[in-house]
C-alpha cells in the first residue's frame, strides 16, 4: 500500500553583498612598493536557494534519504508542493564573555576621545594585557610594534611587524581626502606622517582607520605615526587595536597538511598578508564582520576576504603578493577566495575561483555544512551548490556554518 507524501519547496532570494573582486570585476595587485590597483564595486546579487522537506499526511517529517528511497521503490508518491515566504533569521543575541577566544559578539567601545597628552619618554610604556587592553594613545614610539595590545606581528613582510605602511607626507589632521600616498617596501619602518597597518589574531579584525581616505579611491588603515614619532589611534573612539568579529563561520582542516588563509589588509594596502594558519586537525574561527558596523568605502559597505592557498604552504610563504613556492597557485594567485560578511542578521558566505588572477584549483575538497541555505562546496575540481561554475554563495543563520577542508 502506498502512502501519500507531500514535498515542500522553500524558495528564498538571498541578497548577497559580494566583495569587489568577484563576479567578473577586475582584481589586480601591483608588486610591493607600488600603488595598489583594485577596482572596487559593492554590488547586490540575488542567489536562489531551495530546500526540500518531505511530510506524510499526518504531518510527520520524513528524512530525505528515506523519502527518496520510498519514492524510488514505489512506497510513496508526491502529491504537491508549496512555496512559503522566507524570513531571514534574526542575528544572535550578544553574549558577555571574559575569554580571549573569539565570540559571536561585535564589540565596539564608544567612549569619548582622551584629551591630548605629551609623549612619554620611554617609547614603550609598561602595561598592555593583549586584545582587551586599551591602547596608550601617543605614548608608544612608531619604532615599536604594539604586540602587547593584541596586534599580530608579520615578520616576513620586513616592515617591523606591520602588515603595511602608507606614507602620507602631505596629510594634515582633518583633511577630507589624502592626495598623496606612498606604499612602503621591505626594509622600511613606521615613520612620521605614515599610517601603519597591522594584523589581528584569527577571529579578530583591526579597529583603526582614518575618516580621511585616498582622494582617488585608495583605502587607508592602521595607526597614525605623528610628527613627534608616536603612534596615534586613527579612530580614537575605539580604544583597543583588535575586536572580535560577529562569529558564525568556522574552518575545520581534515587534511594532513596546513591550509594558509590570507586575508587582505583592508582598509590599508589591500595586500593579502594577514595570516590564518589552519593546521591539520585544527578548528579555527574566521573573522566575520557586520557590514553596518565595519569599514565604509565611498558610502558602500565592505566585507572580508581570505585567499585560500593550496595545502602544505607555510603562511610566511603563502601570505605574500608573489609566492615563490607555486607562483600560479598561491599568494595573489591563490586558487580560491572565501568571502564573509553579515547583513541584517544573515551572514553571506562565499567560495569563489580567484578570477581573473588564477585558474589554479585547490588540491583538496571543500564542504560547507551547518545552518546554511545552500550547501556550497568544491569537489574533484568543480564548484557545487550553484549554477555558477566559478563559485557559490550561501546564507548562514544563527546556528553558524562550518567550512571543511578534506
At residue 327, the pLDDT reads: 86
Q: What integer pLDDT is reported at residue 320 of this predicted model?
A: 94
Looking at the structure, tell me whether residues 153 and 221 fall in a common domain: yes
249 within a domain of the structure (yes/no): no
Q: What is the pLDDT of the chain when averaged over all its residues? A: 77
Domain boundary among 59, 78, 97: 78
Residue-level pLDDT at 128: 63
- Alpha-carbon gap, residue 253 to 22, rounded angstroms: 25
Same domain, 133 and 54: no
Report CA dihedral (60, 62, 67, 69) to the nearest 10 degrees: -120
| Same domain flag for 236 and 119 | yes
- As a whole number of angstroms, the distance between CA 47 and CA 148 comes to 43
User: For the segment 298-323, what is each residue's pLDDT rounded down to a tens digit?
Assistant: 889 999 999 999 999 999 999 999 98
Return the pLDDT at 73. 56
C-alpha closest to that of 400 among 378, 376, 377, 368: 368
- pLDDT of amino acid 193: 96
SS3 47: strand
Residue 290 maps to a domain? no
Q: What is the number of residues in the chain? A: 406
* pLDDT tens readout for residues 57-108: 555 666 656 765 665 555 654 443 333 333 333 333 433 433 333 322 222 2
Cell of 221: 588603515
Helix (H, G, I), strand (E, B) or coil at 60: coil
Alpha-carbon dihedral sign for residues 181, 187, 190, 196: positive
In a domain? residue 119 = yes
Q: Are residues 204 and 133 in the same domain?
A: yes
**Boundaries of domain holding 186:** 113-240
Residues 66 and 118 in one domain: no
Gap between the Cα atoms of 253 and 1, Å rounded: 47
Q: Which residue reads 579612530 in cell numbers?
A: 235
Percent of the chain surpassing pLDDT 90:
62
* pLDDT for residue 91: 36
Q: Are the beta carbons of 263 and 272 closer than 8 angstroms?
A: yes
Same domain, 23 and 67: yes
The answer to whether position 402 is within a domain reads no
Bridge partners for 52 per DSSP: 9
Same domain, residue pair 74 and 125: no
The answer on pLDDT for 205 being more than 80 is yes
More confident residue, 126 or 196: 196
70 with 141, same domain: the answer is: no
Whose cell is 569587489? That residue is 20
Quote the pLDDT of residue 68.
55
Share of the chain above pLDDT 70, in %: 69
Instruction: Please tell me the number of Cα atoms within 13 Å of 76 on its side-chain side.
Output: 21
Q: Residues 228, 120: one domain?
A: yes
DSSP structure class, residue 151: -
For residues 159-164, give the mean pLDDT: 97
Question: Which range among 103-107, 111-115, 263-267 has the greatest average pLDDT?
Answer: 263-267
> Does residue 251 sit within a domain?
no
Tell me the pLDDT tens digit for each residue of 210-248.
999 999 999 999 999 999 999 999 999 999 999 999 999
105: in domain: no
Higher pLDDT, 62 or 193: 193
Helix locations, 59-129, DSSP H: 64-72
Give how many domains the chain has, as a whole number.
Answer: 2
How would residue 326 be classed by pLDDT, with cut points 50, 70 and 90?
Answer: confident
Give me the pLDDT at residue 146, please: 97
Within 8 A by CB and 6+ apart from 65, the residues are none
pLDDT band at 175 (very low <50, low <70, confident <90, very high): confident
Say yes or no to pLDDT of 325 above 90. Answer: no
Per-residue model confidence (pLDDT) at position 294: 95
Amino acid at each position: 500500500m502506498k502512502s501519500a507524501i507531500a514535498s515542500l519547496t522553500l524558495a528564498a532570494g538571498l541578497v548577497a553583498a559580494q566583495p569587489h573582486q568577484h563576479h567578473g570585476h577586475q582584481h589586480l595587485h601591483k608588486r610591493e612598493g607600488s600603488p595598489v590597483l583594485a577596482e572596487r564595486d559593492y554590488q547586490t546579487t540575488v542567489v536562489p536557494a531551495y530546500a526540500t522537506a518531505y511530510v506524510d499526511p499526518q504531518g510527520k517529517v520524513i528524512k530525505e534519504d528515506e523519502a527518496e528511497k520510498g519514492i524510488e521503490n514505489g512506497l510513496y508518491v508526491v502529491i504537491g508542493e508549496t512555496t512559503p515566504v522566507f524570513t531571514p533569521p534574526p542575528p544572535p543575541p550578544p553574549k558577555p564573555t571574559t575569554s580571549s577566544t573569539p565570540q559571536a559578539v561585535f564589540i565596539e567601545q564608544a567612549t569619548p576621545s582622551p584629551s591630548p597628552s605629551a609623549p612619554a619618554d620611554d617609547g614603550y610604556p609598561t602595561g598592555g594585557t593583549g586584545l582587551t587592553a586599551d591602547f596608550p594613545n601617543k605614548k608608544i614610539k612608531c619604532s615599536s610594534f604594539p604586540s602587547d595590545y593584541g596586534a599580530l606581528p608579520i615578520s616576513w613582510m620586513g616592515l617591523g611587524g606591520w602588515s603595511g605602511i602608507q606614507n602620507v607626507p602631505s596629510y594634515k589632521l582633518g583633511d577630507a581626502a589624502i592626495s598623496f600616498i606612498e606604499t612602503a617596501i621591505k626594509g622600511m619602518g613606521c615613520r612620521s606622517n605614515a599610517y601603519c597597518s597591522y594584523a589581528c589574531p584569527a577571529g579578530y579584525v583591526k579597529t583603526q582607520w582614518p575618516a580621511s581616505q585616498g582622494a582617488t579611491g585608495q583605502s587607508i588603515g592602521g595607526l597614525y605615526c605623528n610628527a613627534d614619532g608616536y603612534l596615534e589611534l586613527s579612530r580614537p573612539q575605539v580604544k583597543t587595536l583588535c575586536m572580535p568579529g560577529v562569529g558564525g563561520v568556522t574552518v575545520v582542516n581534515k587534511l594532513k597538511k596546513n591550509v594558509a588563509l590570507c586575508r587582505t589588509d583592508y582598509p590599508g594596502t589591500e595586500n593579502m598578508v594577514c595570516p590564518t594558519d589552519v593546521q591539520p586537525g585544527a578548528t579555527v574561527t574566521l573573522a566575520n564582520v557586520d557590514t553596518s558596523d565595519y569599514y565604509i568605502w565611498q558610502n558602500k559597505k565592505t566585507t572580508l576576504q581570505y585567499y585560500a592557498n593550496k595545502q602544505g604552504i607555510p603562511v610566511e610563504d603563502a601570505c605574500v603578493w608573489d609566492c615563490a613556492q607555486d607562483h600560479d597557485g598561491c599568494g595573489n594567485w591563490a586558487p580560491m577566495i572565501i568571502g564573509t560578511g553579515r547583513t541584517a542578521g544573515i551572514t553571506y558566505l562565499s567560495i569563489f575561483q580567484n578570477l581573473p588572477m588564477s585558474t589554479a584549483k585547490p588540491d583538496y575538497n571543500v564542504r560547507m555544512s551547518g545552518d546554511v541555505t545552500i550547501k556550497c562546496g568544491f569537489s574533484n575540481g568543480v564548484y557545487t551548490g550553484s549554477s555558477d561554475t566559478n563559485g557559490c554563495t550561501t546564507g548562514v543563520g544563527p546556528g553558524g556554518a562550518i567550512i571543511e577542508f578534506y
